A and B are shown apart, each in its own frame.
Chain A
Amino acid sequence: MNREHLHEIWGGVAAWRRAILLVLLFIPTFFASVYMASVLPYKGAVWHETAIVVVFTFLFAWISMGFWTALVGFLTMVSRYNRFYIPGSKAGPFEKDRALPKTAILIPVCNEDSTRVFAGIAAIYKSLAQTGKLDRFDFFVLSDTSDPDGMIEEEFAWAKVCSMLNASGRIFYRRRKLNIKRKSGNISDFCRRWGKSYTYMVVLDADSIMSGATIVRMVEIMEQQPAVGILQTAPKGVGRESLLARLQQFANNVYGPVFNVGLHFWQLGDAHFWGHNAILRVEPFMKHCALATLPGNPPLGGEILSHDFVEAALMRRGGWAVWLAFDLEGSYEEMPPTLLEELKRDRRWCQGNMQHLKLLFTKGLCPVHRALFLNGAFSYISALLWLIFLTLCTGAAIYQALHRPDYFPPARTLFPDWPIWHPAWSIGLLAFTAIILFLPKGLAILLIILQKGRAKHYGGAGRLFLSVLLEILFSTLLAPVRMLFHSKFVFITLLGQQVGWGGQQRSDRGTPWSDAFRFHLGGTILACIWGGVMFILNRTFFWWLFPILTGLVLSIPLCVISSRTSWGQALKNKGFLIIPEELEPPREITWLQESLAELKKPSQPLAVPQAYGFVRAVVEPVVNALHVKIVRSGRKVALSIAQRRKEIVQKALTQGPASLTRNEKREILADPACLASLHSAVWQLSDPRLAMKWGLGD
């Protein structure tokens, strides 16, 4: 274990800062818990009130973490003093005649929208070409796509982009035959095959966009800071039109900087790695960051799903720093377009973060990364704690409504046992909690307004303020919905149910009412029963619960409305939820849109829709030849397999492509000889009905 890199000057400063953070968390949380106990009728003396106070303590500590992070971020930005400015804004310029080392840009994909993926790659490529340093970068599209139609779409989109940009020999495409260890395994496979040829690798997601200047700057910083293993940028949300995505990209844009600076303040060289929009030093990554399988069975054991946090911890364990480059612009990503997509992603992240609890006591990890593991798991466990808190409070309210107080308990006391409820104190505690929750947002707006001319990039100070209010309204209404789902995710993960890693829907397709009903009906019914019972038994408590119940009751229409692009665009036209990247789009976003339009143009001469990749591979000569070239020569297979494939081909010829299962299509695509013979036979079909099934309308 090489710790020599750990003895930097920032290590001691970081320890003091984190000690101060612990004190800042502990003291207000202690007083808030004492206050909470005093608010309750029996002052926490009965078991259910004790439980309420304990759960409240955890929740308060959790939300104050965000508060202090934002506050320290705000103070740092206002004072413009940051002693440890790793991104190199204060570092000297890179030497002009010094060559950049070779860097690989990795785009791991799995059942994604290939048009969007390759449009993004085209935009990044063009941006890099503008820097004049394109020759130092190679692009690798690392595919784990299992859908047969998706495979062919990817191949064709790749070939089209290479042709558009004249990028042959610079954008490479590799599809793994076996998906081992998902995304982390995909990247490891690249490292094992080609990693030694590159000094750095920039990892992107399917929806990431980075400007060429930013990528070049990241490489320069890594060269100037030899102790840095991972440099993570803070990507901004862009490019979405649905209401929910616009709310999230607005929040990310407005509040994000304050939180990022605050995170940087506490973490320094022990920062997060978010798995994308970051640059990694290849050699230490290969040496230290290969992920082992966790002991035990899934979901908490087995393959590590959220690999990024673990890789950062392992990189740090190896003695290499992980920094957050919060001020590097030109890094973008797209937000989930709908609530259901966001929850689908959260389901996976919940399991991944819960797995990290098994790593808390791993030897050699830095305390900060242990805390980050706990923090990540707690971001979902807190939802369950909140639900438990509400349940306990509901139980206490029902008990209070139905049970007559026992003023003279059996134990002898000098005074009667008189439960006193202090509603004014409760309101005070609620107000204090609200300040903790919402003051960071206020600080973020204040920062924008204080910076001259910045508010106009958000539509003006007035619209900015109203947009923030709108965002607060929606996030307040959606918070109980998320609470319910996250609680369910934690619960079923603990019960042993695993999650798969299917592709995400990244396009702005709205959620149909049927899906919204299917997913949210349970929560709506629960809220109606819950609210109804409290309205009858304890009306005071009902009004306390009202904001939460409103969100749950309205979850179905909220889910549908927030997924609609019409609502998002209507607000945009009125000047709300505007971000600077919409008023003055960066070149990369413009090129992305242009490349998307170009790739979506139907180029095939036959009447086969672009989405039917398998049929195109069989029928279209160009697509067929491309796929055969990529797959290369097929292996010799056993007689039984060869016979089975012949039967599949016969079935395809006599019954059409719709009769084939996914696995059958994959088998044909994996065998070039089989595919070639099917291509030949389809074109020779004389029965027009059969030919029509393959798009050969005579």
Chain B
Amino acid sequence: MSGTTDSTQPPKESGEENAMQGRYSSDQLEAAGRRVLLYLKALHIPVHTRYAIADKALERAEKSCASGGNVVAEAMQSLPELLQEYRRPAGQSAREAPAPDGAHAAKGVPLADIFSKELSYVQDMPILNRGNMVPVELERTGAFTFFFLLFIKLIFFPLRSPLRMYFLFFTFVAFAALYWWRYFNQ
């Protein structure tokens, strides 16, 4: 909606050619009016204010397109200034009003300063508190090694405390019983 030309300007259509050659038609003016009202409705501007702003926008568009031009584009391009006036607190001059920021500043679109208050929470992320989370390589033993080690553990499991005492005791009793049976049964 800025006055500068760039490749993102809307394409020239057949209706525009007529408009550029002479005055715009009443249909085009009506279309511009509807477009402006739709935009203001999308901004949730109250109804009575919408019509007031739309009237001013069309007035400016009519003046700009007196000798030809895209009246819809001109009406939309006059909105930033009109909306700035609408949003400016009473008594604040145009010089004192905050400048639009970011991407919208380059194109003069009024969105940034219109929504800066309502959307102020959007970038409120918690303060970064960076930490490390480094993957540790998962060392794999391989199936054979795993089962071999498991076998060793199972073999020596009875020798772990506190089972060791019971294991040794019962082993002793078993050997003693075997010896007695062999000795006395011969």
Contact = CB atoms under 8 A, between A and B. Distances in A.
Contacts of A358: 140
Contacts of A195: 129, 131, 133
Nearest to B108: A680
B135 A681 contact: no
A435 B134 CA distance: 49
B13 to A, nearest CB: 4
Contacts of B7: 646, 649-650
Nearest to A650: B7
Interface string B85-127: 0000000000000000011101101011011000101111111
Interface in B1-60: 1-2, 6-11, 13, 15-16, 28, 31-32, 34-35, 38-39, 41-44
A92 interface: no
Given A621-B42, A683-B35, A686-B28, A362 B133 contact: no
Contacts of B128: 193-194
A698 B34 contact: yes
B112 A625 contact: yes
Interface string A151-190: 0000000010010000011001010000000000000100
Given A169-B121, A676-B103, A696-B35, A649 B8 contact: yes
Interface string A581-607: 000000000000000000000001110
Interface string B134-152: 1111111111011000000
B15 A675 contact: no
Contact of B111 (A174, A290, A624): A624
Interface residues of B, number: 64
Given A169-B124, A361-B143, A649-B8, A633 B102 contact: yes
A291 B135 CA distance: 5
B31 A688 contact: yes
Given A649-B8, A653-B10, A685-B10, A286 B35 contact: no
A698 B104 contact: no
B146 to A, nearest CB: 4
Interface in A629-657: 629-630, 632-634, 646, 649-650, 653-654
B182 interface: no
Contacts of B42: 604-606, 619-622
A626 B102 CA distance: 13
B31 A686 contact: yes
A191 interface: yes
A696 B72 CA distance: 13
A194 B126 contact: yes
A682 B107 CA distance: 13
Interface of A: 138, 159, 162, 168-169, 172, 174, 188, 191-197, 286, 288, 290-294, 358-364, 604-606, 619-622, 624-626, 628-630, 632-634, 646, 649-650, 653-654, 672-673, 675-688, 690-691, 696, 698
5 contacts: A193-B130, A288-B136, A605-B38, A629-B115, A684-B77
Interface of B: 1-2, 6-11, 13, 15-16, 28, 31-32, 34-35, 38-39, 41-44, 70-73, 76-77, 102-104, 106-107, 109, 111-112, 114-115, 119, 121-143, 145-146
